[in-house]
Amino acid sequence: EAQVTQNPRYLITVTGKKLTVTCSQNMNHEYMSWYRQDPGLGLRQIYYSMNVEVTDKGDVPEGYKVSRKEKRNFPLILESPSPNQTSLYFCASSLSASGTGELFFGEGSRLTVL
Amino acid sequence: SQQGEEDPQALSIQEGENATMNCSYKTSINNLQWYRQNSGRGLVHLILIRSNEREKHSGRLRVTLDTSKKSSSLLITASRAADTASYFCATGASDMRFGAGTRLTVKP
């Protein structure tokens, strides 16, 4: 089954404790992206990757890091989480980054930073 | 910054009625997409309309695009309770941007 898998789905952590949210897709997609969703703000792009070892900043990259060492994986790293990073995070992938294809989304990771 | 802005923010209708949601965007586009999100779940792609298309249908969905007005609309005909969800328009490519969405409630 074609899917984008995120883990963990739910996480409560404390300020400053490094964490990684993993994302994996099994569709051999070139493009992957991370979004955060906050009430009233819709989805905002954090980082995206158009291929292995190619990553770029989205609209809200501060406080986040990503890596794309393998085509299927695109982890999101919070080196020192802060309460303003409490949010619902989505990973998405697409066959190409041309914008002509649909994005496939994971089920989301709800992060709470105390 | 958001590229698309949906209107209205919330819409409540009875089952069987039609639901219309609008999206306005700011810059020129190659295509525009609509997505659906059930409460707290991942977004699901509904339909893509290219900049040279004016209207597109998929089942009970009808999407229009007016590039001169930088706007699009999504019409859901004969709505069902299961259509209750948030609907988002999205534009862009590698920098795909979403609006804040329209929350649709369909009452049985």
Considering only CB atoms, which chain A residues are within 8 Å of B42?
Answer: 4, 90, 105-108
Q: Where are the alpha helices (DSSP H) in chain B?
A: none
Judge: A88–B2 Cβ closer than 8 Å, yes or no: no
Minimum Cα–Cα distance from B10: chain A residue = A40
Judge: B93–A98 Cβ closer than 8 Å, yes or no: yes
- Checking if the pLDDT of A94 tops 50, the result is yes
Both tokens of A53, joined, read: 């070892």
Both tokens of A42, joined, read: 């819709």
A47 touches chain B (CB under 8 A): no
Residue B22: is it exposed, middle or buried by C-beta count within 10 angstroms (0-12/13-18/19+)? middle
Q: Which member of B2, B93, B95 has the closest CB to residue A42?
A: B2
Which residues of chain B are at the A interface, by a Cβ-Cβ cutoff of 8 Å?
1-2, 30-31, 33, 35, 40-45, 48, 88, 90, 92-101
- Angstroms from A3 CA to nearest CA on chain B: 11
Both tokens of A51, joined, read: 């291929």
Cβ neighbours, 10 Å, residue B29 = 22
pLDDT of residue B102: 95
Minimum Cα–Cα distance from B29: chain A residue = A99
pLDDT of residue B93: 83
Q: Which amino acid is at A113?
A: V
Tell me which residue has tokens 């049985």.
Answer: B108
Percentage above 70 pLDDT, chain A: 97
Q: Which segments of chain B have a pLDDT < 70?
A: 1-3
pLDDT of residue B1: 46
Return d(Cα A55, Cα A50) in angstroms, integer: 7
Tens-digit pLDDT profile for residues B23-37: 999 988 889 999 999
Q: Distance between alpha carbon A30 and the CA centroid of its chain, in Å?
A: 15
Sequence-distant (6+) residues with CB within 8 A of A93 are A4, A25, A27, A29, A31, A32, A33, A74, A103, A104
Strand ranges inside chain A, DSSP E: 4-7, 10-13, 19-25, 31-38, 42-51, 54-57, 65-66, 76-78, 87-94, 104-105, 109-113
**What mean pLDDT value characterizes chain A?**
94
- Counting every residue written for chain A, the total comes to 114
pLDDT of residue A100: 65
Tens-digit pLDDT profile for residues A49-91: 999 999 999 999 999 999 999 999 999 999 999 999 999 999 9
pLDDT of residue A31: 93
